[in-house]
């Protein structure tokens, strides 16, 4: 008699619900924060003044975040949107650590969550 110590496969439906919930929450966060950048909130204008690349970079970052957030909700593009957001958050973490100071924890959290989504959505 052969016995195995394998765990049962995770439910496809439960994984899908988790993936959609995670994607929805992360997309909401990126659309909200990216929208603040595009709207020119005082905090974002001040932050990007400290970065020193000009306000065009605030618009570019906001556009990438909003586009990536929306892309997370489209299954065909979700993997690529998650990879895009991982790259954007890599830059955000570096910027917080090396240039503007402050806590990189929010960017690091979104980096990890976007990475998880990319891993779960990999083709």
What is the tens place of the pLDDT at every residue in 64-79? 999 999 999 999 999 9
Beta-carbon contacts of residue 69 (< 8 Å; ≥ 6 apart):
26, 27, 28, 29, 30, 31, 34, 81, 85
5 vs 95, residue with greater confidence: 95
Poorest-pLDDT segment among 58-62, 109-113, 119-123: 119-123
Structure tokens at 87: 């790259």
Does 2 map to a domain? Answer: no
In a domain, 10, yes or no: no
Q: Name 6's Cβ contacts closer than 8 Å, sequence gap at least 6.
A: none
Establish if 7 belongs to a structural domain.
Answer: no
Is 6 within a domain?
Answer: no
20-34, 58-72, 78-92, 96-110: least confident range: 96-110
Residue 101 is part of which domain span? 15-121
pLDDT in tens, 24-50: 999 999 999 999 999 989 989 998 998
In a domain, 5, yes or no: no
Total number of domains constituting the chain: 1
Tell me, yes or no, whether 28 lies in a domain: yes
């Amino acid at each position: 008699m052969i016995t195995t110590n394998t765990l049962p496969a995770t439910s496809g439906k439960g994984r899908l619900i988790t993936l959609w919930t995670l994607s929805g929450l992360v997309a909401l966060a990126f659309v909200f924060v990216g929208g603040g950048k595009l709207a020119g909130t005082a905090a974002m204008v001040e932050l990007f003044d400290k970065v020193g690349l000009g306000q065009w970079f605030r618009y570019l970052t906001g556009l990438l975040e909003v586009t990536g957030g929306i892309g997370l909700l489209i299954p065909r593009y979700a993997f690529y949107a998650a990879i895009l957001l991982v790259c954007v958050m890599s830059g955000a973490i570096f910027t917080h650590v090396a240039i503007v100071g402050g806590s990189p924890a929010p960017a690091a959290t979104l980096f990890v969550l976007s990475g998880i989504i990319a891993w779960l959505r990999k083709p």
